[in-house]
Structure 1
Amino acid sequence: MTGTHAEAAYIRSLAAFRTPTLNLLHGRHAPFVIAALSMLFTADRPAVPVADAHAEVAEALDELRASGYDDEDRRIPSGTGREVCRNWAKQGWLVQQIDDDVEVYRLSAHAVEALEITGRTGGGRTRVSTSRMRTLLDAVERLSDSAEADPIKRITRLTAERDALDAEILRVQAGQDAPIDDEELYEEAENVLHLARELPADFTRVAESLKQMQRDVVAHLRRDDRPTGEVLREYLQRARDVMQSTPEGRAFAGALRLIGDPDRIDALTEQLHTLLAQPFSRYLDVTQRSEFDAIGRRVELGVEEVLAAQRRASHVITGQVKTHDPLRDRQIDELLRDVISGLHDWARTAPATAPIDPVRSLPLIDLGRLRQTVGDVRPPGAPAPLSDADDVEYLETDSRSWGGPRYAELESYVAGLGEQFDLGEAFADAPDDTRRPVDLVGLLEIAHRNGMTEGSGISDVETLRPDGTTRRFAFVSVTARTTKEHDDA
């Protein structure tokens, strides 16, 4: 049994040290990693642009190497700032993502937890204080009360709490309430800082659980062969209930009911500022005061991080569902597997110095001549030359009679009407073959081109279609000139 217990404990320890958190703390470069990450990321700077992070890490490396720290058991990593940050992302300590079209780094939950551990360890001694024990006892009491199913016992406990509160109110009103010692208040503040240091890791862990759920859903969707309608209903529902899809998300949803109100956050920030003005705050060092003042901001940024992860997961899942095509996804997966398999086969036989020609364009399949649509404005060949109008013989005179205005006949007719003419009277006296509705429009166009004057009366004309039907039109009387008037200038 002893060997079994020892083996189980050892296996658990091995698993713990394989996590990115302990891997970071146990690594050779751990002091530099912790120092650099703590400088890069603060409560007011949860995300850092990739280019800025590379530059700042490179600057820190140069400063420490110039000071001789690179010679101390190689505790300073080699390489450029970009290489170091890329390695941290590979180790799972940094997360790359796009925020407002900018590529940024964020701390992973493991890195946040490692920073919290080192901050707590280096922040002074951990004391078994009245505040810490009261926090534990209150938590146990709330858990016991929530689990209690007997209403009589709950009423008894609530009555006792009410009596205790009434007695305390009477003592305060009588001036018998003894002031709390500054040392005890300082212990309370230490406990608050201890609890607050765990919040960033908790928030980041929730956000990462949502991202992992998003990846799992998308991967499962790509393997889903069910009808599209059934897939849409299920996955759109999961996109709406994304916060309830993980244990961390469900726990955060409950906590959000306490801290999601902006007024609650503002009240928390105001209380923290008031506490820093109290006499006991003189016991807090500069770092503790800064952490104490940033608690409200940490909570606000943590809530924003989780809600942003929720929105992003919902957007990605919804987008994947809308474009879900099982056949196409399988074809893409098979193509990628073939490419990777071919690359592995080539890597086993090719020499290390073998050049690789990049694929600059995808091959085109020869399909012959495709059908041309009306959208292709390029003609297949040069058109035949047009014949002169005099050589054209109209075999169907009826078709031409239904065409547009006969400008040549109308202009010849207008030329014989004198210097000016009334357009309505001129149209009424015109030959029958030029009294079509379109010829009225043509006559108006000629009058407008040569110059015309509108009168106060109304002209009423009857048009004659080629099939013998008539139609009447009324318009403002127009006096037109026969020829266009030119300026002497």
Structure 2
Amino acid sequence: MSNTRAEAAYRRSVAAFRNPMLDLLHGRYAPFVVAALSVVFTPDRPTVAVSDAHAEIGETIDQLRAAGYDDDERRLPSGTAREICRHWVKVGWLVPQIEDDVEVYRLSAQAVGALEVAGRAGGGRTRVTKSRVRTLLESVDRLSLDADDNPEVRLAKLRKERDDLDAEIARLEGGGPVEPADEEQLLEEAENILHLARELPADFSRVAESIKAMQRDVVTDLRQDIRPTGEVLREYLQRGQHVMQATPEGRAFAGALRLIGEPEHIDQLSNQLAALMAKPFARLLDDEQRADLRAISRRVELGVEEVLAAQRRASHVITAQVRTHDPIRDRQVDDLLRDVMAGLQTWMQTSRPGDRIDPLRSFPVADVGHLRQSLSDIRPPGAPDPLRDGEDDDVDFLDADERSWGGPHYVELEKYVATLGDDFDLASAFEGGSREVRRPVDLLGLLEIAHRNGMTEGDDVSIVEALRPDGTSRRFAFGAVTARTTKEHPHD
């Protein structure tokens, strides 16, 4: 059986009412939700600390109940402000996040849209004005020009625009009067600007949320990815660096950012709005309209900051996740969470309302025997065994070959130095020694003895050849040294 147009329209309507925005407006407590959110969140206050939001919403409920707005026809939600805010987070009207180590709430794009719809519905009639029609026609004309790939048609339109501008310039240069618009027309222009500006907060929020949704998708895909780590790193790091181009909303915002992203553009917009507020027609605007008109530049600035902050946060999260990506650990965490959910489902089948589970307040301690209780004392628990006398028969000495690779033979070197007279040249003494005291380490020992007894360094360079125990040789060069045979004592 084919679907009728009525059935298709009804299904689209049912799907639309599942949107959090329409759910907010259609809910039982919609008037209170709109009022509370509009009081707490303003264009100059897009985020509110969680504790402050709970306090302000609780105060709002108390004031409305005290004023009698809790009868059968105008119900207020029950529960504490904390419970109400948690419900709003659950249904997608509030978004919790961390800013400067403080947990805050901000309105979701759906909540911003719902407040805008409620504001327009309660703000008076919607008029088909000349300004709004002209905006539509200009937008269609611009779209037609951009979409037309015929160079002749494009040139004709551009020439007509140039001719019209030249004619207006010539008229003014010729002393022609400037025809001012009447105040009613200027008022229509201002209302059209306000109508367009009211859409901006929801648009900015949708861009930020699309970036966050992309961030969650990337992290989820990364945790479930079984491809080689190098391939994962290249793909996701690139997506993290170019996150603004990863969603349709982000690409559209990137194009708009070229028009409004520069500080001088925001300053120019602020100056233009301030100048408009000084014009005579501005007195026709009511207080709310004047406040909204003045707040346009601030709304644009805060919206740009919100999107760029979401971009930086997404890039940081994706990059950090990639750098710490461990498929084995992530799989273990996923398995543990699934076990916990399975256990909870099993328990729910046999539990009754009011049943409690004692939480695991600490992990079991492994029995590893006795460990040192203090790490500040670096001394060993007991004194080492005393060294045995070298004269004992049970002392095992190294053999001659192992001893030959040891340190300097100080005893032999001292005896050899004592035969060299009062003064001697260290290089000549080393060359004249026996093979047992001509190892490289013995040269160092001889230098040490010379330094201890007293020595003089000359400007010449001495070169000696040392003999290793395996028969190989090595040459060393050093400053000439003249040493004493015995240690020099100071005079009394």
Task: Name the TM-score class by shorter chain.
Answer: 0.7 to 0.9
Closer/same/farther in 2, CA of residues 237 and 477 from structure 1, 3 Å limit: closer
TM-score between both structures, scaled by the size of structure 2 = 0.78
Q: Is 1:268 aligned to residue 269 of structure 2?
A: yes
- Alignment partner, residue 301 of structure 1: 302
Go from structure 1 to structure 2 and tell me whether the alpha carbon gap of 1:455 and 1:227 turns closer, same or farther (over 3 Å shift). Answer: closer
Change (3 A) 1:8 1:393: closer
TM-superposed deviation, 1:158: 3.2
Match of 1:402 in 2: 405
Match of 2:363 in 1: 361
Deviations 1:83-123 (A, max 9, x none): 33222211211112233444332221011112222333344
**SS state of the match for residue 142, structure 2?**
helix
What one-letter code is carried by the residue in structure 2 that aligns with 1:281? A
Pick closer, same or farther for the CA change 1:334–1:412 going to 2, 3 Å: same
Q: For the Cα contact (< 8 Å) 2:211–2:244, is it kept in 1?
A: yes
Contact 1:222 1:329 survives alignment (8 Å): yes
Q: 2:115 maps to which residue?
A: 115
Partner of 1:23: 23
Q: Specify whether residues 220 and 465 from structure 1 end up closer, same or farther in structure 2 by C-alpha distance, changes over 3 A only.
A: closer
Greater shift, 107-116 or 432-441, is seen at 432-441
| Match of residue 93 from structure 1 | 93
Q: Which runs of 5+ in 2 are unaligned?
A: 369-377
**What SS does the corresponding residue of 1:105 show, helix, strand or coil?**
strand
Deviation larger for 84-93 or 50-59: 50-59
Answer with 430-439 or 476-485: which moved more: 476-485
Matched residue, 2:84: 84
Question: Which residue number in structure 1 is paired with residue 161 of structure 2?
Answer: 161
- CA displacement 1:209-267 (0-9 Å, x = unmatched): 22223323443444444555555555555445543443323332332333334433332
Assess if the C-alpha contact under 8 Å between 2:240 and 2:318 holds in 1. yes
Residue 343 (structure 2) aligns with: 342
Shift of 1:457: 5.2
Would the aligned equivalents of 1:451 and 1:485 in 2 still touch at CA under 8 Å?
no
For residues 367 and 296 of structure 2, the distance between their equivalents in structure 1, rounded to whole angstroms, comes to 62
Residue 192 of structure 1: CA displacement? 0.9
Does 2:133 match 1:133?
yes
Give the TM-score of the pair, scaled to structure 1: 0.78
Q: Does 1:45 align with 2:49?
A: no
Quote the Cα distance in structure 1 between the aligned partners of 2:68 and 2:414. Answer: 100
- Matched to 1:308, the amino acid is A
**Cα separation, partners in 2 of 1:51 and 1:458, compared to 1, 3 Å:** farther
Specify which of 472, 475, 479 is matched with residue 479 of structure 2. 475
CA contact (8 A) 2:440 2:468 kept: no
What letter matches 1:358 in structure 2? Answer: L
Matches of 1:302 and 1:256, distance apart in 2: 11
Which residue of structure 2 lines up, in the alignment, with residue 441 of structure 1?
A: 444
- Tell me which residue corresponds to 1:176: 177
Task: Determine the C-alpha separation between the residues in 1 that align with 2:274 and 2:320.
Answer: 44
Residue type of the alignment partner of 2:95: V
Over 3 Å counting, the alpha-carbon distance change for 1:249 and 1:364 in structure 2 is farther
The separation in 2 between residues aligned to 1:50 and 1:411, in whole angstroms, is: 83
Report the Cα distance in structure 1 between the residues aligned to 2:97 and 2:117, rounded to whole angstroms: 25
Question: 1:12 Cα deviation (Å)?
Answer: 3.6
CA distance in 1, matches of 2:186, 2:398: 111
Say if 2:457 and 2:479, in contact at 8 Å, map to a contact too.
no
Structure-to-structure mapping, 1:147-158, within 5 angstroms: 147-158=147-158
1:148 deviates by 3.6
- Kindly provide the CA deviation profile for residues 354-409 of structure 1, in whole angstroms up to 9, marking residues without a partner as x: 4324163279899xxxxxxxxxx999x99987544444343412322321234566
Q: 1:21 Cα shift?
A: 1.3
Cα shift at 1:170: 3.1
Note closer, same or farther for the CA distance 1:268–1:390 as it changes in structure 2 (3 Å cut): farther
What's the secondary structure of 2:104's corresponding residue? strand
**Counterpart Cα distance in 1 of 2:57 and 2:488:** 82
Q: CA deviation at 1:188?
A: 1.1
Judged with a 3 Å threshold, the aligned counterparts in structure 2 of structure 1 residues 242 and 485 are, in CA distance, closer, same or farther, namely: same
155-164 or 407-416, which moves further after superposition? 407-416
Contact 2:435-2:467 at 8 Å conserved across structures: no
Deviation at 1:40, TM superposition (A): 3.5
Contact 1:211 / 1:313 at 8 angstroms: preserved in 2?
Answer: yes
Pairwise CA distance, 1:320: 4.6
Secondary structure of 2:478's partner?
A: strand
Cα 1:363–1:177 change in 2 (3 A) is: same
Call closer, same or farther: CA 1:181–1:25 in 2, change over 3 Å: same
Aligned residues of 1:207 and 1:306 also touching (Cα < 8 A): yes
SS at match of 1:355: coil
Q: Kindly indicate whether residue 206 of structure 2 is the aligned counterpart of residue 194 of structure 1.
A: no
**Structure 1 residues 70 and 285: CA distance shift in structure 2, 3 A:** closer
2: distance between equivalents of 1:485 and 1:95? Answer: 87
SS in 1 for 2:406: coil
Structure 1 CA distance for aligned equivalents of residues 284 and 240 of structure 2 = 49
Q: CA deviation at 1:202?
A: 0.6
The DSSP-based 3-state class of the residue aligned with 1:281 is: helix
Q: 1:153 to 1:459 in 2, by over 3 A?
A: closer
Counterpart CA distance in 1 for 2:459 and 2:230 is: 68
Find the residue that maps to 1:361 and give its secondary structure: coil
Residues paired across the two proteins, number? 472
**Overall identity of the aligned pairs, in %:** 60
Unaligned runs of 5+ in 1: 367-376
Q: How big is each residue's C-alpha offset from its partner over 1:127-152, in whole Å with a ceiling of 9 and x where there is no partner?
A: 32221121122122223333445444
Give 1:473 deviation, angstroms: 4.2
Report deviation, 1:327: 6.1
Aligned CA RMSD, in angstroms, stands at 4.3
Change in CA separation of 1:109 and 1:451 when aligned onto 2, cut-off 3 Å: farther
User: Shift of residue 155 of structure 1?
Assistant: 3.6
Q: Which residue in 2 is equivalent to 1:205?
A: 206
Contact (CA 8 Å) 1:427, 1:440: kept in 2 or not? Answer: no
Tell me the CA shift for residue 446 of structure 1.
5.7
Q: How does 1:227-242 map to 2 (within 5 A)?
A: 227-228=228-229, 231=232, 234-236=235-237, 238-239=239-240, 241-242=242-243
How many Å separate the matches in 1 of 2:222 and 2:413?
73
**In structure 1, what is the equivalent of residue 373 of structure 2?**
none
Distance 2:176 2:448 in 1: 103
- Give 1:156 deviation, angstroms: 3.6
Aligned 8 A contact 1:451 1:481 in 2? yes
Alignment of 1:248-327 (within 5 A): 248-320=249-321
Q: 1:145 is matched with which residue?
A: 145
Q: 1:290 to 1:214 in 2, by over 3 A?
A: same
Instruction: Out of 193-202 and 345-354, give the one that drifted further.
Output: 345-354
The 2-side partners of 1:185 and 1:451 are apart by 106
